[in-house]
Structure 1
Amino acid sequence: MAHNIGVVGDKDSILPFKILGFSVFATTDPTEAREIIDRLAKEKYGIIYLTESLAQHMPDTISRYDATLTPALILIPNHSGSLGIGKKRIQDNVEKAVGQNIL
């Protein structure tokens, strides 16, 4: 079963994902982003990409979806560059799975 892929963030950062066939949802408001993510989760989206700039304002939402199998919430840099949050999450998850930081 194929899952949809959604991208949430500021317009300039997420518009290129539309070319790849992903559903894009433009917002710079963390409250609106939470509502979008919750709606996409209910609509059975398998992967949701979220800009780091929004993610830093919604750690509770990130934690809630970390505890679920789907959707996978993946943090991406915005058009201004990376805040390092997404990379840190990957390192933490690898360390949790393997027992040490191999990255």
Structure 2
Amino acid sequence: MYKIAVLGDYNSIYGFAALGLDTFPVEDPAEGKEKLNRLAAGEYAVIYITEQLAAQLSAEISKYSEELMPAIIQIPGISGNTGAGIENVKKSVETAVGSDILFSNE
């Protein structure tokens, strides 16, 4: 059975443990890179990563963008929402559907 992981700074991710998700706090980008690769190679189908850490690991994350698993999804951290997470979801939907679902022709 596949699992769900949450990766980022401790203060941003500790609440996800109450939901039954596996949390992996990291202190710096080097540690984040190592944990991301380890989680992606393991039994994790979904990896939530804070936007701040994802910005520092963009090259590493792009290696997994064409893979079926894991799905790497950016979430806002404790310091706020940068908009990067919703932008990545929007791009994925545009690729799958073929158009911008948020665009309105009113």
TM-score, normalization by structure 1: 0.93
- How far the C-alpha of 1:80 sits from its partner, in A, is 1.7
CA distance in 2, matches of 1:94, 1:71: 17
Q: What is the SS of the residue equivalent to 1:61? A: helix
Displaced runs of 4 or more, over 3 A: none
* Number of residue pairs aligned between Structure 1 and Structure 2: 102
- How far the C-alpha of 1:28 sits from its partner, in A, is 3.5
- How far the C-alpha of 1:19 sits from its partner, in A, is 0.5
| Superposition CA RMSD, Å | 1.0
Deviations 1:23-70 (A, max 9, x none): 111113111111101111222211110000001111111111111111
- How far the C-alpha of 1:99 sits from its partner, in A, is 1.5
- Quick one: structure 1 residues 12 and 86, their matched pair in 2 at CA, closer, same or farther if it must change by over 3 Å? same
Could you list the runs of 5+ residues in structure 2 that have no partner in the other structure? none
Could you list the runs of 5+ residues in structure 1 that have no partner in the other structure? none
CA distance in 2, matches of 1:47, 1:17: 13
- Name the larger-Rg structure: 2
CA distance in 2, matches of 1:54, 1:24: 14
